[in-house]
Amino acid sequence: MKILVTGGAGFIGSHVVRRLVMTYPEYHIYNLDALTYAGNLENLTDIDQAPNYTFLKADITDASHIQTLFETYRFDKVVHLAAESHVDRSIKDPLAFVRTNVIGTMNLLNACTSIWKEDTENNLFYHISTDEVYGSLGADGLFTEETSYSPNSPYAASKASSDHFVRAYGETYNFPFIISNCSNNYGPNHFPEKLIPLFINNILEMKPLPVYGDGNYTRDWLYVLDHAIAIDTILHKGKVGETYNIGGFNEWKNIDLVHLLCDMMDDTLSRKRGTSASLITYVKDRPGHDKRYAIDASKINKELGWKPSVTFEEGLKATIDWYLNNKTWLEQVTSGDYQDYYTKMYQS
Ligand code: NAD
Ligand code: TYD
């Protein structure tokens, strides 16, 4: 079984690659990644010598390179994670999101349909998506697999578009696909532009913690290893043509989460309680900021038996410890271009 994972050098992808390489020595796992600012092979140094692992540097927007790779390796299944993934970047440069998330996904779909003509039984295109395609919830209710798409950010619109193309290929070409839509992930190897790793890094450096708007925005948080387990479960037990929502049953208002993180960091760093919270700074709101995301993950729970394995406190503690024990990783990814990014995003 040859499994292609795209975006395997990124945050979630690296955890998926590690899990598949270590759990299934009988499979060969190919990790295709363009190594953008978000891709880092340092995330995989513990498994990169494994006999069932191969890294392929490629850009999914390059249709002819992608086609050549599919003809050369003839992958049986694809787990597609490669994407531009940060909402704030999508507000500054929406076209980059169309290129990678929409056209890149199309190139993969076309490469798959070209080599999977005779045998779709053993083939699967598993598309990893986000709960952000559903838009924003009010105070009540949860996103189910039946919730209509209503994306509000260019990122969410590009992911929604790619989800639609995947489903359309299923209807039109009898193409074997599964889609999963997951809530916000957190954990080791998370690039410090997203809320939790950015704030961990700023607390370490005693820099301001920029809370958007009034901080009363709600997200549902899932530990990244639990997402990797869900992806493994769906890859092996999911039904072709289905969509599965994945979530943490774990809703937090941003400001409450930030206070919890500050207290945990103060304790871990032996700082006086309140030291980190004094860094909280309310800043201009994100345009089009979605008020609340919350996932109903009962389908994957009932049909495939998956549920999160760690509590938020356990996951957050493990995450903080990982960043403290991997300061070189953090320094490496926050040098160079990161400084320009930070100035552009937060000093204007
Ligand atoms: P990430 O930004 O950390 O990693 C993305 C990876 O894709 C990087 O390794 C990058 O180099 C690679 N990549 C980007 N453009 C590419 C291109 N043109 N060709 C090849 N590779 C390219 O993202 P992540 O947070 O790990 O998210 C992975 C997937 O999961 C995405 O599809 C995202 O939409 C989805 N998702 C993320 C979350 C979350 O909370 N992070 C939640 C739900 C769904
Ligand atoms: P983020 O981690 O960017 O994920 P997403 O936008 O995909 O949900 O942001 C999570 C929440 O935190 C979101 O409501 C925006 C907010 N946020 C801040 O308040 N300050 C920040 O610096 C960042 C990056 C996010």
Sketch the domain layout of the chain as residue ranges: 2-187+222-250
Centre a 10 Å sphere on the Cβ of residue 91 and count the other Cβ atoms it contains.
Answer: 16
* CB of 87 shorter than 6 A to ligand 2: yes
Q: What string of pLDDT tens digits covers the 348 residues of the chain?
A: 999 999 999 999 999 999 999 999 999 999 999 999 999 999 999 999 999 999 999 999 999 999 999 999 999 999 999 999 999 999 999 999 999 999 999 999 999 999 998 667 899 999 999 999 999 999 999 999 999 999 999 999 999 999 999 999 999 999 999 999 999 999 999 999 999 999 999 999 999 999 999 999 999 999 999 999 999 999 999 999 999 999 999 999 999 999 999 999 999 999 999 999 999 999 999 999 999 999 999 999 999 999 999 999 999 999 999 999 999 999 999 998 898 899 989 976
What dotted CATH number matches 2-187+222-250?
Answer: 3.40.50.720
Name the nearest CA neighbour of 53 among 61, 64, 45, 42: 45
pLDDT score for 347: 78
Find the 116 Cα to ligand 2 centroid distance in Å.
Answer: 39
Q: What tokens appear for 263 in the block?
A: 């207290």
Among 143, 219, 222, say which to mutate for ligand 2: greatest number of ligand atoms within 8 Å of CB: 219
pLDDT score for 119: 65
Of all protein residues, the one whose alpha carbon is nearest to atom 11 of ligand 2 is 195
Q: Which residue has the tokens 């996951």?
A: 315
Q: Please state whether beta strands 218-223 and 251-253 pair in parallel, antiparallel, or not at all (unpaired).
A: antiparallel
Partners of residue 178 on adjacent β-strands: 126
Residues taking part in catalysis: 131-132, 155
pLDDT score for 54: 98
Query: Which residues make Cβ contacts (< 8 Å) with residue 121, sequence separation at least 6?
Result: none
Q: Where are the alpha helices (DSSP H) in the chain?
A: 11-23, 63-73, 87-92, 94-97, 105-115, 154-173, 195-204, 224-237, 254-268, 298-304, 312-325, 327-333, 337-346
* CB of 334 shorter than 6 A to ligand 2: no
CB 27, CB 3: distance < 8 Å: yes
Find the 215 Cα to ligand 2 centroid distance in Å.
Answer: 10
Q: What are phi and psi of 247, to 5 degrees?
A: -150, 170
Among 12, 30, 101, say which to mutate for ligand 1: greatest number of ligand atoms within 8 Å of CB: 12
The atom number, within ligand 2, closest to the CA of 218 reads: 14
Decide: pTM greater than 0.95: yes
